[in-house]
Structure 1
Amino acid sequence: MGATILFAIALSFDGFGVGVSYGIRRIRIPLLSMLIITLCTVVAMGTALFFGDVLMGVITIVSPNLIAAGILLSLGGYQLIKAVPHLFKKETPRAEPASTIAVREPVLKLEFKILGVVVQVLKTPEQADLDGSGVISAKESVLLGTALSLDAFASGLVLGLAVGIFNSLSVIAWVALMQIFMIKCGQALAGRLPEEYLGKLGLLPGTMLILIALGKLI
Structure 2
Amino acid sequence: MQLVGLLMLAVAISVDGLAAGIAYGLRGIRVPFLSLVTVSTVSALMITTSMQAGRLIGQLMPPLAARLVGSGILIALGTAMLRGGRSSGARGPLILRLVHRPQEADLDRSGTLTPGEAALLGAALALDALGAGLGAGIVGFWAWICPVIVGLAKLVFMGCGVMIGGYLAHEDFLRRTWMVPGGLLIILGILKLV
Q: TM-score range by the shorter chain?
A: 0.7 to 0.9
Cα pair 2:36 2:158 within 8 Å, conserved: no
Q: Give the TM-score taking structure 2 as reference length.
A: 0.87
Deviation at 1:19, TM superposition (A): 0.7
In 1, Cα distance between the equivalents of 2:24 and 2:120?
15
Indicate yes or no: 2:160 matched with 1:185.
yes
Aligned equivalents of 2:173, 2:122: Cα separation in 1: 25
- Match status 1:144 vs 2:121: yes
SS of equivalent residue, structure 2 residue 29? coil
Q: Say which SS state the counterpart of residue 131 (structure 1) adopts.
A: coil
Q: Give the direction of change, closer, same or farther, for the CA distance of 1:204–1:170 in structure 2 (3 Å limit).
A: same
| Aligned counterpart, 1:34 | 36
- Aligned with 1:41: secondary structure? helix
Provide, for residues 21-50 of structure 1, a one-character-per-residue CA deviation record: whole Å limited to 9, x for no partner. Answer: 100111111111111111111111111122
Structure 1: give runs of 5+ residues left out of the alignment.
87-108, 110-114
CA distance in 1, matches of 2:57, 2:80: 23
User: Cα–Cα, structure 1 residues 36 and 43, in superposed 2: closer, same or farther, change >3 Å?
Assistant: same
Equivalent position of 1:91 in the other structure: none
Residue identity matched to 2:129: A
For 2:132, which of 148, 151, 155 is the aligned residue? 155
Shift of 1:70: 0.4
Equivalent residue for 2:94, pick from 114, 117, 137? 117
Q: Secondary structure at the match of 1:169?
A: coil
Structure 1 counterpart of 2:115, one-letter code: A
CA contact 2:26–2:168 (8 Å) conserved in 1: no
Give the total of aligned pairs.
189
Aligned pairs for 1:73-152 (under 5 A) are 73-85=75-87, 116-152=93-129
Q: Distance in 1 between matches of 2:16 and 2:64?
A: 32
CA distance in 2, matches of 1:170, 1:196: 34
1:90 paired residue number: none
| Equivalent AA in structure 2 for residue 175 of structure 1 | V
Residue pair 2:139, 2:192 contacting (<8 A) in 1 also: no
Question: 1:170 corresponds to which letter in structure 2?
Answer: I
Query: For residue 57 of structure 2, what is the amino acid of its counterpart?
Result: L
Alignment TM-score, normalising by the size of structure 1: 0.78
- How far off its partner does 1:130 sit? 0.9
1:70 aligns with 2:72: yes
Larger radius of gyration: 1
Q: CA RMSD in A?
A: 2.2
